[in-house]
Amino acid sequence: VSSIMFSPDGNKIVSGSYDRTVKLWDSSNGNLIHNLSGHEDVVRMVAFAPDGKTVASGGDDRTIKLHDAATGKLIFDKTLKGRVTSLAFSPDGNTLAVANAGVDILDAKTGENKYKVETEDFYVVSIAFSPDGKTLAGCFRTETKLWDVANGNLKQTFAQTADAARSLIFSPNGKTLVGGSPN
């Protein structure tokens, strides 16, 4: 298992794996609900939409797939420029940010590209939305950047002293951003 997440209500778990599968589980008894196949390589990231109705997955096959969490039905799939390293739904669930060789900002209902944040072909290794959904944080190389979600404009850059943060999270009030790296 390469990625795992509880649904917002805690009733389901989604897992992505090295065996190319995405699985939905009942968290109360561990029973498999759906096996969401279709990826052709390692699934690196999975995420639930904030309402728990949609599951996103992405990985080394350069695709992002959205499935209906109740039925397992594929909503859309999209091939991107590079392998998917991180993904995040906006707090309102309308936008899906997908980190790869840049950051693709997608309409979470249709998969249509809103815009792409270019990062000079460096892979973004982690992303996170601020609690108000107005700012997207992304980390690559030795920098963490903040972008305006409405238009993709760069708001701020933070230099780091070590490796890129593999995990990013905003505090509930949105005033603090924390990143964790292996070094």
- Express each pLDDT in 117-151 by its tens digit: 877 656 777 889 999 999 999 887 778 889 999 98
Asked whether the predicted pLDDT for residue 181 surpasses 70, the reply is no
Query: What is the pLDDT averaged over residues 6-23?
Result: 96
Smallest CA-to-CA distance from 99 within 157, 54, 164, 37 is with 164
Whole-number Cα distances in Å, 183 to 9, 137, 146: 34, 20, 22
> Residue 159 — pLDDT band, cuts 50, 70, 90?
confident
Residue with tokens 């509930």: 172
Residue 56 has pLDDT above 90, yes or no: yes
For the chain, what percent of residues have pLDDT higher than 70? 93
- Pull the structure tokens for residue 167: 């995990």
Q: Is the pLDDT of residue 11 over 90?
A: yes
How does pLDDT run across 64-116, given as a tens digit for each residue?
999 999 999 999 999 998 899 899 999 999 999 998 888 899 999 999 999 88
